[in-house]
Each structure stands twice: as C-alpha cells, then as structure tokens.
Amino acid sequence: MCDLTRRNLLLSTAFMAGAAKAADEINSAVNLAKDVYFHQGDLEHQGHCNNGWIIFKDYVLVIDANFPSGAQNILPKIRALTPKPIRFAFDTHHHGDHAYGNQVWIDNGATPVAHTGVIEEMKRYETGYYDDKPGRWEEAAKERPDVAASHLAPPSVLFPRELYFDDGEHRVELIHLGVAHTHGDAMAWLPKEKILFTGDACVNGPYNFVGDGNIEKWIATLDAAKKLGAQAVCPGHGPRGVETVLGDQQLFFQELSRSVDRRVKAKQSARQVFEAVGQIREQIVAQPRIARYVDKDGIAAQVEKVYNEMTGKSFPPDTKTSHQARLLHRHAHAAG
C-alpha cells in the first residue's frame, strides 16, 4: 500500500467512532459466540482482509482465504483453539485479499468454496491463469512476496445461490444475495447467532472499491442483507459492528447516487459532475452516519461509477479518474 493511501486510511480512521476499540482488535481473534470467531485483518500494513471461522463438531470452516500471508497469520490462531481439521475456506469474492490465499488453505487440508460468480470473475481478471497474458495475480506478485511465492488456486466447490453447513449444532448459510462489490459476492449467515459475515459487500470505513461491481444493484443487495435480521455484522474490512453498518454502507451509496442523479437531471456535463466531486465529498463528510466511508482519493472514482451507470458515459480522459481508480484498486485489493 502506498504512503498516500496509508496516510489517507489513518486520517479516515480518525473519523471513525470507536476507533480505539477497532485498533485494539486488529490482528486478534474475537470470540463472537460459542465456536464463532472474527479476526480483523491488518489492512494498513499488510493489506489483509478480515476473517471469520466457525468450529463445527468435526471440522472448521474459515471465512475468506485472505492473501497468502493473511492465511499464514490466522492459521496458528485457529490451531491454538482447536485440533479439528480446517476443511473449508469460503471466498466471499474473487479479489486477491480474499482469495489469493486459497493455496495455503489447500496445503493445510482445506478446500476453497465460493459462489459460481467468483469463477466467472476470475476468468475475467485472472488472464494469467486462464489465458496466457498476465492478469491481476501477476500484477500483485510484483509487489507482494507472499503472492509471488504461491500460486492461484480457484475455488473448486461451487454453489449457484446457496450452500448450507449444518451439523445440528451450528448452521452457516453461504448465500449470494445479488451483485454488489463484484458480480460474485456471497455472505456467510449464521441464523442461530444472527451473525453476518459480509465480505466487501459491506465494509466499515473508507474501503469501497467499486470497479468490479454495480452500485445500483449493490444498494438492492444490501436491502436483502438487511432483511436477514443480523445483530452482529462482520465486514470485509474495518471493525465489526451491529446491524446498522449495513444501513450506513447503503446510505453512503444512496447519497452518492442522489447527488449524481440531481446533476444528471440538471443536464450537467461529465466535466461538471467531475468538478462537483469536492462538493459531493463535503456533503457526505457532513453526515455523521456515513462520513467514515469517504476516501479522499477514491471518491472521484465512486462518483464516476455512479455517473457511468446512470448515463453510460465516463469522465473526460484528462481527469484521470479511471487511472486513479485502477491504482486504488491495486493498492486496496491486489497489492495491499
């Protein structure tokens, strides 16, 4: 992760309510309910995503494969809690910080599991694996020794909509609720404990990368997630929260969409919308519920994405937003 992004994360973290608690929990396993754990990854220094794991009667299910170094980081923490075999690693989506550690889990006896959309996304972006020209893995390997030392292992247990793990004591439902952060997001829902692991379909802080998803559909997918009735929400990045985090994440996108929609209806040009990015940012920062979602460097790409979905048009080439979005993506999701 570049210095600029790191500084930005630090600044943004300062906005967050409960920042002290969040910092305390980074890199530690938090027991949420009997046999259910949440682990907030070190995003700032290592690019790691958050993880979860559930200890069933006979095996362990891990939520998100993380980067290879992220997987290596939590393996001993799981082993310290149980001698049971780790059988499954669920990729909430295809991004490197959630799926590139698959091989580490395979080497430790587990099988990567995902929604079928994860494979479709991998085929789209991992051209080095499915084709002969380098894709995202190769790009990440240039900057991350852990990726360079491993190799891409796509999930091999796939589900088109839902997959349930239920041993009578614990039940975990892996569910695809629609397009959101990517076209292959799935969440892990624990109906008995009312805990929801969302992957990056819901984050808790300035971590929304929008390049691979669809914001309009994302808002609808969050509606479906809200209907589950979660009491605890474990996001893909940022500190754990309660059910309001889903609504906060949704409101951030709704506010972005409302701002852009007003400008589109007023027949503003792409350049005018681009020039309004600072104003849109200020309007969102002024709202306590969603100020923490504002990434100073990333918001232009988010506004452009909404604008593109509404009009089919991009910002003028000289605004370099798409280049910036690619860079942000690389730092947030591939290179860490």
Provide, rounded to whole angstroms, the least separation between the CB of residue 12 and Zn ion: 17
Q: What track of x and - describes contact with Zn ion for positions 151 through 190 (by CB under 5 A)?
A: ----------------------------------------
Name the minimum Å distance from CB 236 to Zn ion. 6
Which is nearer to Zn ion, 95 or 331 (by Cβ)? 95
CB of 41 to Zn ion, least distance (A): 12
For Zn ion, the binding residues in 92-111 under the rule CB under 5 A are 95
Q: How far is the CB of 182 from Zn ion (least distance, A)?
A: 7
Neighbouring C-beta atoms of residue 82, cutoff 10 Å: 14
The Cα-based distances of 230 to 42, 65, 188, 201, 306 in angstroms read 25, 23, 11, 15, 28
Give yes or no for residue 212 binding Zn ion (CB under 5 A): no
Question: Candidates 77-85, 122-130, 225-233, 327-335 — which segment interacts with Zn ion by CB under 5 A?
Answer: 327-335
**Binding window for Zn ion (CB under 5 A); candidates: 1-9, 40-48, 81-89, 328-336:** 328-336
**Closer residue to Zn ion in complex, CB, 193/212:** 212
To the nearest whole angstrom, how small is the minimum distance from the Cβ of residue 64 to Zn ion? 10
* Minimal distance, residue 132 CB to Zn ion, in Å: 26
Q: Decide whether 16 or 334 has the Cβ nearer to Zn ion.
A: 334
Q: How far is the CB of 49 from Zn ion (least distance, A)?
A: 7
Instruction: Give the long-range contacts of residues 257-263, CB within 8 A, separation 24 or more.
Output: 257/215, 257/216, 257/219, 257/306, 259/283, 259/303, 260/303, 260/306, 260/307, 260/310, 261/310
Of 273 and 334, CB closest to Zn ion: 334
91 near Zn ion, judged by CB under 5 A: no
Q: Whose CB is nearest to Zn ion?
A: 95
Site for Zn ion contains 200 (CB under 5 A): yes
To Zn ion, the closest distance from the beta carbon of 250 in angstroms equals: 17
Give the residue from 233, 246, 290 showing the smallest Cα distance to 50: 233
Q: Is 248 in the site for Zn ion (CB under 5 A)?
A: no
Q: Which is nearer to Zn ion, 281 or 333 (CB)?
A: 333
Binding site for Zn ion (CB under 5 A): 95, 200, 333
